[in-house]
Amino acid sequence: MDIYDVTVIGGGPAGLAAAISASEKGAKVLLIEREERLGGVLKQCIHDGFGLIRFGEKLSGCEYACRYIETIRQTPVEIRTSTFASQINNTKEGFALSLTQRSGYERVFSKTLVLATGCRERTAKQVFIHGTRPAGVLTAGSAQHFINVLGQMPGKNCVILGSGDIGLIMARRLTLEGAKVLGVYEAKSEPSGLSRNIYQCLVDFDIPLHLSHTVTEVHGRERLTGITICAVDEKMQPIPGTEEYIPCDTLILSVGLIPENELSEALGAAISPGTKGPLCDQNCQTTVPGVFCCGNALHVNDLVDYVSESGEKAGLAAADYAAAASVCQQDPPICNVSGDKSSNYVSIKHSSDFAYIVPSRVTAGVKENVPFFFRTKATRGNTTVKVYLGDEEIFRKKYIGLRPPEMEKIEVDFAQIDLRDDLHFVMEVAEHES
């Protein structure tokens, strides 16, 4: 049985960054990817806007992925594509994995795991759309795959439900390929995508955006023939009498993303109700010692640069954990790898204005700069975000405005702070508005 220090599950941007950083740290690394090619969803993202933070230039998703693929090819990382981790058993020494691949069945052992499995799209069933199940109803990611990878048009007269970024980008892409996008319908009272995508993908192409509207029913048997849309109230409940039938042959869903957390749950990791990904510390370690999570499997990011950043951090932390575990197995042991004891951590608490904050806990006594990512629950004007340690304010940052679709990042330096109590994040109206 082959033994590895770090096994990374997922070959997208987070997994590639994790495997590279762990290998550069000296760890023996195995990278597992279920598809035939590395790159994850970036393989089908031909639009630009990737890499501005990490590379300082605009790249397509394909170009961004290729840079990491070229780098990993120059490392000793072992790569297994078209491979599934069909079973993982947690042992005292590490993790026993059963791998299923074209060449057959294989067992490997790893001291640590990095889960970089990405996220999935919500389906029509998950947003309670009634009716039959005709062809022509598909997620925005599936539509993107059809056009950009397979070279197939999903339809000619399209309606998009949801104003998430993938849906907005597909509204533009379908229009450029000759389809008619009849409109984008959003159940919320404001768009769910980034402001730049609203303007570049809808306004610039005269595609109408209908807020506070949703699809309540699909029509057609073999192929979609139309949909029923309806206005919704503040609680997003359909308003009787506002129904409207729209003939179309394609309905594209852009109704949200959810971290792939099946492996995390199977391994016993606690799941955050805010992110739907596992609870993690500042090193991306879950509540299961030796299991790390990064990228969109941890929380859905709006920039791939941050996905790679968390992957890099998880890989480094996993390599350090594996090295410490190896030293502990010497006879006599000369160190101790701490497990998941609550006394080793302080919790991150926040006011109800936040949708979530990542990480959700920090190692007690940490003496380094720790980045925190958060989203506001509702659109706000001039706002000050403050961080308290007990009753003491240790950090503040002012924002002109905050929107739920736009993830924010702050960094708190704990070098001179004795971190022995829970941290509290709060939002307050900026002082000059008081």
Helix or strand run (H / E) with residue 19: helix 13-24
Name the residue with tokens 């790569």.
Answer: 79
Taking alpha carbons only, the member of 130, 125, 158, 126 closest to residue 144 is 158
Q: DSSP label at 201?
A: I
Tell me how far CA of residue 112 lies from CA of 27, 91, 269, 396, in angstroms. 10, 11, 14, 36
Tell me how far CA of residue 278 lies from CA of 295, 297, 304, 358, in angstroms. 11, 8, 19, 10
pLDDT of residue 174: 97
Model confidence over 207-232: pLDDT tens digits?
Answer: 999 999 999 999 999 999 999 999 99
Model confidence over 117-145: pLDDT tens digits?
Answer: 999 998 766 666 777 789 999 999 999 99
Q: DSSP states of 368-404 as a string?
A: SEEEEEEEESS-BSSEEEEEEETTEEEEEEEES-B-T
* Parts of the chain with a pLDDT under 70: 124-128, 327-343, 431-434
